[in-house]
Chains A and B, each alone.
Chain A
């Protein structure tokens, strides 16, 4: 597959989209782990939700 004289423009576009999508995915995944960790810490400190369920119970 030859991309002709504008290979750098095409490859840069795809690489940039891939990089930004990966950054989005990882930032959301890291944020999820961070929130679960905070809830676990609150659970360990004895805080209970108004419903009576554990703070770390996300379902």
Chain B
């Protein structure tokens, strides 16, 4: 089966149905390993045990941006190739991305209170991530407001691409502005500044959460394809009755 074959919704459904149980099993196993390593990680000399919040905050923060990146690629697929699966992919990813962004904001806030002395600060990183969360909610509202999926697809794709401008702002906000949020410590020039005792659990959790996203995204795409099939069959049924 080639990549082009997967662009066919029926073939995509067949592959997804076969793949999902395996993906779910690998994701669950990696999450368990990551959680065990996070629990066993030593306390940080400055932050104490609150460093454990990093193992769930950072993967969610990464995914909040990664999911919008996936949606931006799908938006290009909608606008350039007008492929129906591209809009299915974007629409299915939005609620998952919104959930990861919400978790990044809340876990960051719960980490910030003991470390910074405040739950929230209107600094560049926190504010740009809050804007990302609001953009996810706006996109979800747009898809729900327009009944015809093909009409909603184009508007959502344009909004997604415009919103992608926020991704480099989030990434480099800690370098461009003086923020309370710490600068990058894993993906930075010169390598990670994290000790292996923290880096390994963090990377395992990041891979586990990324696989969780892939699993949930494929399952949500399958649902969306079926929802569109239901809609077209209902329309066919209505036109047959009218005739």
Contact, CB under 8 Å: B110 / A12: yes
Bound together, the chains give a CA A58 to CA B223 distance in angstroms of: 10
A residues within 8 A CB of B233? 39, 42, 47, 49, 55
Contact, CB under 8 Å: A31 / B236: no
CB-defined interface of A15-35 with B at 8 Å, one 1/0 digit per residue? Answer: 011001101110011011001
Interface residues of B in 83-100 (CB under 8 A from A): 95-96, 99
Bound together, the chains give a CA A16 to CA B99 distance in angstroms of: 11
Residue B111 CB within 8 A of the other chain: yes
Residue B174 CB within 8 A of the other chain: no
Which secondary structure dominates where chain A touches chain B?
A: helix
Contact, CB under 8 Å: B111 / A47: no
Bound together, the chains give a CA A2 to CA B52 distance in angstroms of: 12
Bound together, the chains give a CA A44 to CA B106 distance in angstroms of: 46
Count of interface residues, chain A, beta-carbon cutoff 8 Å = 35
Bound together, the chains give a CA A58 to CA B110 distance in angstroms of: 43
Bound together, the chains give a CA A28 to CA B96 distance in angstroms of: 10
Name the residue of chain B whose CB is nearest to the CB of A23: B99
Residue B144 CB within 8 A of the other chain: no
Contact, CB under 8 Å: B99 / A13: no
Residue B56 CB within 8 A of the other chain: yes
Least Cβ distance of B78 to chain A in Å? Answer: 22
Contact, CB under 8 Å: A42 / B230: yes
B residues within 8 A CB of A3? 49, 52
The residue from A5, A6, A16, A42 contacting B103, defined by CB atoms under 8 A apart: A16
Residue B118 CB within 8 A of the other chain: no
Bound together, the chains give a CA A23 to CA B68 distance in angstroms of: 21
Residue B79 CB within 8 A of the other chain: no
Contact, CB under 8 Å: A38 / B39: no
B residues within 8 A CB of A32? 219, 222-223, 226
Residue B150 CB within 8 A of the other chain: no
By Cβ-Cβ distance, the 6 closest A-B pairs, closest first, are A35-B226, A3-B49, A6-B114, A13-B107, A38-B230, A31-B223
